[in-house]
């Protein structure tokens, strides 16, 4: 297809006015277009004439559209389609017009007039169809390394700009032009659906739908049309819920109306973001250089599903939280890939001088760690979230409540999810989708501080001085980062399952089903984050090396173990969004040496790879990132490391018993039957690999002698889950040894933590998360939920006889040495008070 820049005497070129051909030649020499999709031909209906639809009139938009069509091999936009008999001289029209120059103002026709002509043409030619292709054009949407700071001022926004500003935008940002082709609409199909309506009504409906479509695309690409921050604050303070809270606070604390209004106003200013497109673009430009210096690359996967659902949805991003880098990285990735960055819920501890205002303008809104006791603050914050929803603003928050210090997903906090669902019930203009995101690092800036906190050191408070001191970490090498988008969770689908009558609960403050729905939603989000995990070389090395007493392994054994892990993950995929490094075992080891995670010890009988001291402790973080991927295989290995032979049925029976606790800790995706199927498939994998054997009828499993390679592979694999069973046994042993009605849940948590700490000291376990109090708390909560233990009238824990049976079953998994060591260390009832005092 010849375009307007061609000078040949083709029929199409001849029909384009000479001034358009000239302007097109000039524009094409400067403008560089990024198309979405890259091949829009796939969208078109074959053999159907094309009419393009633009959002706004402008000569530059028409020429950019023509250039994009030529580059993509699409029909020209500047000549009329031959099959359509109308007065149209072009193959495009716009949905809104701006004032025209005085000499051709009368020639500008409203879009409904063009649509009417097209509809009349189809009515006159029943065999004819026309496809309307909406095309969105954004000049200066995403930054490039060639962008200048001044160009930020002329990036795309919601303002309908004049010709001079558009010219400057083209000069400064023309090489960063984004053209998005949308799914075509069959005009014949619309007319058929509206055949009982008057043509004027059909035309108005099509025009309205097109305008709504362009608003959705613009909102998804550059963000909603945000009003001034003061307007948002005024809307929050004028809301009925906030006015009621102010009245209640004034009555309770004997404050004047002005005093309580000022307090609420201060709360709103403390919370509210001050989003600026200019600042976001500037930060994106800055971060591009920052990431290039800090990392070897950032890999993003499964982004297409988000791009498909973002228009027309209220998107809530719910990533795992492992570093302060998380929210900067995700916002940058979204912006540079054509999706507006979300408003981010940040802890008020980050509202530092200089940093806080910058984060606000980047979309951060701040919340206090806890505000249950402050009804006025709670009302203001809830209303602010509701106002964001009303404006169609995408949001991001971390349901773990804080950064994970262990590398595992933390138990979710319900607060923000609860507020989101309530805001949706109140203002459900658009469907809500939660987008889980897995972020995987190969080295963390905060790694050493995490280990210190888990070892008992107090958390260092964020400060501007501390931030300046941490600049030195930027000189280090942090490898690659992977950002995997998990399977989205659609809120309406979840509510339809949990509460079919939820649509009738909109006016209720807290529907009875809300807590249940929040719990299931948070669990599904965490599961989908884990189902999008990325397994990098450091994860594999950590799983293997940390299973040995001195975090060292002969190179030949390490190569075999790495190959086993990679084959296991490839043949029995955990989920369709889990990604695995393409490096071979030898390349994995070489990369670990390059990243200085492991060191090579030369030896005549074969080199040894080792991770020493603090490096070994830090590696536990990256092992914990992917523990869930090895849950089924590690369980089988645990059953057979202390037993040469074991019935397959016994492995399955014990798996059913322990699975609810492992599932709750690692956010595994299967139900009980699904886990059993996974166990059976993994056993078959081990048999094919020669790691396990079976008798003639396949009922009894067996392993090789303890000195053999197969037994070594099983011991190494079992270690990733063995510490969890040791924690479970510590909890049960402490509870049983102290007896019924002797300990409260809090006292049991403290005693278990102290016992685990002491066991770590005696056995040199370089795993600070082994005595993480939250893990004991989660296990105790699961025991209570399943009524294995319960609270008596005095607030102490009672338990069923079945608990002692569980303790006896532990001998199948844990060695006699470990069991006796734990029983010996478990505090005696007379020593409980002393232990509690030490914990305090």
Question: DSSP of 485-522, one letter per residue?
Answer: E---EEHHHHHHHH-TTGGGGTT-SS-TTHHHHHHHHH
16 token code pair = 């384009």
Q: Which residue has the tokens 């523990």?
A: 627
Tell me the three state secondary structure of residue 432: strand
Q: Is the pLDDT of residue 782 over 50?
A: yes
Mean pLDDT of 459-469: 58
Q: What is the pLDDT of residue 507?
A: 65
Q: Is the pLDDT of residue 411 over 80?
A: yes
pLDDT digits (tens, 9 = 90+) for 271-303: 999 888 778 877 887 888 888 888 999 999 999
Largest CA distance in the chain: 102
Q: How confident is the model at residue 412 (pLDDT cuts 50, 70, 90)?
A: very high
Distance linking the first and last C-alpha atoms of the chain: 79
Mean pLDDT of 342-351: 89
Q: Which residue has the tokens 């909102």?
A: 219
Burial class (CB in 10 A: 0-12, 13-18, 19+), 765: middle
Tell me the three state secondary structure of residue 74: coil
Phi-psi region of 596 (alpha: psi -120 to 50; beta: other; left: phi over 0): left
Q: Which residue has the tokens 């403390």?
A: 270
Q: How confident is the model at residue 503 (pLDDT cuts 50, 70, 90)?
A: confident
Q: Is the pLDDT of residue 482 over 90?
A: yes
Q: Is the pLDDT of residue 700 over 70?
A: yes
Alpha-carbon dihedral angle through residues 439, 443, 445, 447, given to the nearest 10 degrees: 100
Whether 72 contacts 41, CB under 8 Å: yes
Half-sphere exposure of residue 709, counting CA atoms within 13 Å on the CB side? 11
Mean pLDDT of 643-670: 92
Q: Is the pLDDT of residue 149 over 50?
A: no
Candidates 575, 679, 584; CA nearest to 629 is: 575
b/e map 703-738, b = 16+ CB within 10 Å: bbeeeeebbbbbbbbbbbbbbbbbbbbbbbbbbbeb
pLDDT digits (tens, 9 = 90+) for 158-199: 455 556 666 766 667 777 788 889 889 888 888 888 877 787
pLDDT digits (tens, 9 = 90+) for 358-374: 899 888 999 998 877 89
Whether 574 contacts 527, CB under 8 Å: no
Q: What's the mean pLDDT when you consider all of the chain?
A: 83
Q: What is the pLDDT of residue 7?
A: 33
Q: What is the pLDDT of residue 222?
A: 66
Q: Is the pLDDT of residue 508 over 80?
A: no
Q: How confident is the model at residue 85 (pLDDT cuts 50, 70, 90)?
A: low
Percentage with pLDDT > 70 across the chain: 85
820 token code pair = 């006796």
Q: Which residue has the tokens 């070489």?
A: 590
∠ CA 446-448-450, nearest 5°, is 70
């Amino acid at each position: 297809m010849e375009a307007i820049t061609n000078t040949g005497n083709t029929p199409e070129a001849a029909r384009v006015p000479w001034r358009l051909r000239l302007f097109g030649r000039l524009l094409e020499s400067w403008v560089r277009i990024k198309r979405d999709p890259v091949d829009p031909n796939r969208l078109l209906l074959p053999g159907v004439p094309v009419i393009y639809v633009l959002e706004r009139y402008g000569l530059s938009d028409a020429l950019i559209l023509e250039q994009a069509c030529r580059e993509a091999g699409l029909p020209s936009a500047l000549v009329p389609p031959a099959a359509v008999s109308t007065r149209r001289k072009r193959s495009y029209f716009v949905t809104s017009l701006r004032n025209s120059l005085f000499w051709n103002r009368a020639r500008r026709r409203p879009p409904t007039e063009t649509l009417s002509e097209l509809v009349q043409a189809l009515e006159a030619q029943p065999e004819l169809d026309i496809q309307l292709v909406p095309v969105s054009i954004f000049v200066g949407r995403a930054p490039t390394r060639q962008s200048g700071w001044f160009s930020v001022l002329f990036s795309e926004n919601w303002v309908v700009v004049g010709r001079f500003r558009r010219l400057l935008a083209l000069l400064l940002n023309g090489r960063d032009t984004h053209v998005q082709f949308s799914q075509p609409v069959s005009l014949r199909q619309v007319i058929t659906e509206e055949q009982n309506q008057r043509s004027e009504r059909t035309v108005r409906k099509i025009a309205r739908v097109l305008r709504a479509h362009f608003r959705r695309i613009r909102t998804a690409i550059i963000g909603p049309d945000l009003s001034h921050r003061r307007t948002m604050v005024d809307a929050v303070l004028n809301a009925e819920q906030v006015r009621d809270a102010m009245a209640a606070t004034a009555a309770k604390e004997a404050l004047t109306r002005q005093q309580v209004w000022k307090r609420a106003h201060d709360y709103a200013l403390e919370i509210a973001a001050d989003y600026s497109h200019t600042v976001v673009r500037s930060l994106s430009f800055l971060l591009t250089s920052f990431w290039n210096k800090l990392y070897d690359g950032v890999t993003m996967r499964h982004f297409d599903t988000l791009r498909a659902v973002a228009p027309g949805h209220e998107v809530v991003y719910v990533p795992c939280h492992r570093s302060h880098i998380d929210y900067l990285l995700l916002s940058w990735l979204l912006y540079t890939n054509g999706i507006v960055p979300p408003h981010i819920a940040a802890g008020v501890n980050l509202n530092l001088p200089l940093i806080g205002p910058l984060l606000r303008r980047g979309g951060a809104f701040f919340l206090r760690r806890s505000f249950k006791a402050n009804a006025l603050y709670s009302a203001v914050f809830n209303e602010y979230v509701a106002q964001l929803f009303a404006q169609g603003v995408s949001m991001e928050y971390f349901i773990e409540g804080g950064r994970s210090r262990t590398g595992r997903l933390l138990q979710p906090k319900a607060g923000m999810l609860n507020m989101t669902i309530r805001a949706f019930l109140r203002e459900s203009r658009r469907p809500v989708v939660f987008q889980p995101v897995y972020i995987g690092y190969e080295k963390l800036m905060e790694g050493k501080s995490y280990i210190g906190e888990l070892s008992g050191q107090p958390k260092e408070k964020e400060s501007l001085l501390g931030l300046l001191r941490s600049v030195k970490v930027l000189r280090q090498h942090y490898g690659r980062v992977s950002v995997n988008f998990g399977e989205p969770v659609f809120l309406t689908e979840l509510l339809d399952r949990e509460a079919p009558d939820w649509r009738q609960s909109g006016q209720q403050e807290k529907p009875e089903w809300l807590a249940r729905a929040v719990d299931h939603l948070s669990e599904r989000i965490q599961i989908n984050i884990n189902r999008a995990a990325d397994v990098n070389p450091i994860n594999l090395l950590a799983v293997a090396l940390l299973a040995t007493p001195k975090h060292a392994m002969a190179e030949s054994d390490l190569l075999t173990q790495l190959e086993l892990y990679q084959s296991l993950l490839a043949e029995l995929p955990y989920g369709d969004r889990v990604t695995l490094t393409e490096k071979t075992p030898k390349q994995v080891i070489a990369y670990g040496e390059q990243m200085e995670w492991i060191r090579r010890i030369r030896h005549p009988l074969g080199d040894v790879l080792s991770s020493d001291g603090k490096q070994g402790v830090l590696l536990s973080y990256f092992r914990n990132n992917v523990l869930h991927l090895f849950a089924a295989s590690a369980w089988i290995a645990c059953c057979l490391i202390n037993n040469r032979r074991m019935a397959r049925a016994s492995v399955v029976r014990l798996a059913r018993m322990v699975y609810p606790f492992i599932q709750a800790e690692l956010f595994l995706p299967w139900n009980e039957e699904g886990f059993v199927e996974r166990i059976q498939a993994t056993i078959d994998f081990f048999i094919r690999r020669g790691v396990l054997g079976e008798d003639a009828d396949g009922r009894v499993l067996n392993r090789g002698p303890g000195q053999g390679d197969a037994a070594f592979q099983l011991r190494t694999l079992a270690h990733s889950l063995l510490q969890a069973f040791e924690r479970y046994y510590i909890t049960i042993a402490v509870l049983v040894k102290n007896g019924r009605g002797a300990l409260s849940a809090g006292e049991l948590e403290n005693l278990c933590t102290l016992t685990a700490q002491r066991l770590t000291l005696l056995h040199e376990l370089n795993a600070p998360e082994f005595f993480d109090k939250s893990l004991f708390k989660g296990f105790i909560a699961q025991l209570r939920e399943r009524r294995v233990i319960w609270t008596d009238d005095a607030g102490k824990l009672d338990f069923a006889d079945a608990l002692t049976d569980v303790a006896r079953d532990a001998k199948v998994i844990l060695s006699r040495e470990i069991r006796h060591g734990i029983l010996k260390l478990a505090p005696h009832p007379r020593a409980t008070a002393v232990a509690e005092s030490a914990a305090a």
